[in-house]
Amino acid sequence: MKPVAIFRHIPIEGPGYFATFLDNNHIPWRLIKIDAGEHPPATADDFSGLVFMGGTMSVNDDLPWIQDALSLICQAVAADIPVLGHCLGGQLMAKALGGEVRNNPVKEMGWGEVTVPDNPVARAWFDDLTAFQTFHWHGETFNIPQGAACILSGPFCENQAFAFGIHLGMQCHVEMTERLVRDWCCVAAEELALLDGPAVQSMDQIETDLPNRIAVLNAVAEKLYRKWIAHLK
């Protein structure tokens, strides 16, 4: 099997549990370090799937690699090569597919519930799961692209995930591990202390009962990732 390409945009937002999942299922993968100066490849033909991780930048920023990433996503979708996006990655997918990325009404930082809409596409991805606690770390949001279906919603951000055929774009972070959560909190400690919003938690709130929260989230991620890899070339 060709490897899955994983695009990392900042050093601390790596693939997390997704890499563990691929290793456990003996699926090869290659990390493309955009943060270290690597550029998206010109073609998706060398990969069985494309996965875009999070980042602190906006897809609307004038950065040299963004247009290449958008073009690569469009190319992969046209060739039925599965694409998966986490947070910034989901926003890249939304923009590539014709959607708009804009400021969310509030920042979301910490744990929060998302619900699964009652539509056939959402049911196909989540089976009988109707709601779960996931991790949030964003200030922007996306429109659902034309032809896609919303498959997750939240009280502070309506569009938390969409599916476009075999492609899955998420605003929330299902890839989290204990290490990722603690690293992000450490880097953003000052911001967390200063922000005062309805969807921003303190570091203590975020790290409370962390092993159990991560275990539950990993189980949800496992369900989603297993359905996604079923379409790998």
Give the residue among 113, 87, 45 at the shortest CA–CA distance from 176: 87
Token readout for 108 is 């979301």
Partners of residue 136 on adjacent β-strands:
110
Closest C-alpha to 209, from 130, 153, 133, 152: 133
Return the pLDDT at 196: 87
First and final C-alpha spacing in the chain:
8
pLDDT the model gives residue 114:
98
- pLDDT (average), residues 103-112: 98
Question: How is residue 158 annotated by DSSP?
Answer: S
Q: What is the mean pLDDT of the segment spanning 205-211?
A: 98
Cβ atoms of 22 and 3 within 8 Å: the answer is no
Of the candidates 34, 10, 6, 3, the residue with the CA atom closest to the CA atom of residue 18 = 6
| Superfamily of domain covering 4-229 | Class I glutamine amidotransferase (GATase) domain (3.40.50.880)
Percent of the chain with pLDDT over 90: 99
Give the mean pLDDT of the chain.
97
Q: Residue 40: its pLDDT value, please?
A: 97
Handedness of CA 133, 135, 138, 142 (dihedral sign): negative
Tens digit of each residue's pLDDT (9 = 90 or more) over 170-201? 999 999 999 999 999 999 999 999 998 999 99
Averaged pLDDT, 27-38: 98
The Cα–Cα gap between 64 and 71 comes to 12
The answer, yes or no, to whether residue 233 has pLDDT greater than 90, is no
The two tokens of residue 183 are 């690293």
The pLDDT tens digits for 59-71 are 999 999 999 999 9
pLDDT of residue 223: 97
pLDDT in tens, 78-91: 999 999 999 999 99
Q: What mean pLDDT is predicted for residues 195-215? A: 96
Q: 43 pLDDT exceeds 90?
A: yes
Buried b (16+ CB within 10 A) or exposed e, 8-36: bbbebbbbbbbbbbbeeeebebebbebbe
Query: Where in the chain are the domains?
Result: 4-229
